[in-house]
């Protein structure tokens, strides 16, 4: 069974870094799309300007996607934008009715 899964990755960005972060995150998601055919979306939590989320839906090749995501996070230096002591939290969901 080849179940499609969705990735929800949330974290806090240092507010001073927001202006630099957005174009880097968009470029990273473009590279992920190019390498995996999975389109990402970038969201900011309402009422909490420093909480952000990346959403990747319909992932069918999990190993390829996860390896690509890990590589891109490093290559694009996303951890440098995290608020002090912050980390990226990854949640994976699937459709139980699919």
Cβ(78)–Cβ(25) below 8 Å: yes
The pTM score is 0.92
> C-alpha angle with apex 41: 28 to 88, nearest 5 degrees?
65
Beta bridge partners of 53: 10, 43
Best CA proximity match to 88, nearest among 36, 21, 35: 21
CATH of the domain at 31: 3.30.70.100
Distance CA 96, CA 50 (A): 32
- How many structural domains does the chain have? 1
Q: Report the pLDDT value the prediction gives residue 82, as an integer from 0 to 100.
A: 94
Query: 10-residue block means of pLDDT along the chain (98 residues)?
Result: 88 92 97 98 91 96 97 96 92 88
Q: Report the pLDDT value the prediction gives residue 6, as an integer from 0 to 100.
A: 98
The whole domain housing 65 covers 5-94
Rounded to 5 degrees, φ, ψ at 27 are -65, -40
């Amino acid at each position: 069974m080849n179940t499609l899964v969705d990735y929800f990755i949330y974290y806090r960005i240092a507010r001073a870094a927001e202006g630099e972060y957005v174009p880097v995150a968009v470029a990273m998601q473009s590279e992920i799309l190019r390498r995996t055919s999975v389109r990402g979306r970038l969201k900011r939590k309402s009422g909490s300007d420093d909480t952000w989320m990346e959403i990747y839906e319909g992932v069918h090749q999990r190993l390829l996607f996860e390896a690509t995501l890990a590589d891109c996070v490093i290559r694009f230096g996303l951890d440098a934008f995290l608020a002090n002591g912050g980390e990226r939290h990854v949640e994976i969901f699937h459709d139980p009715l699919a």
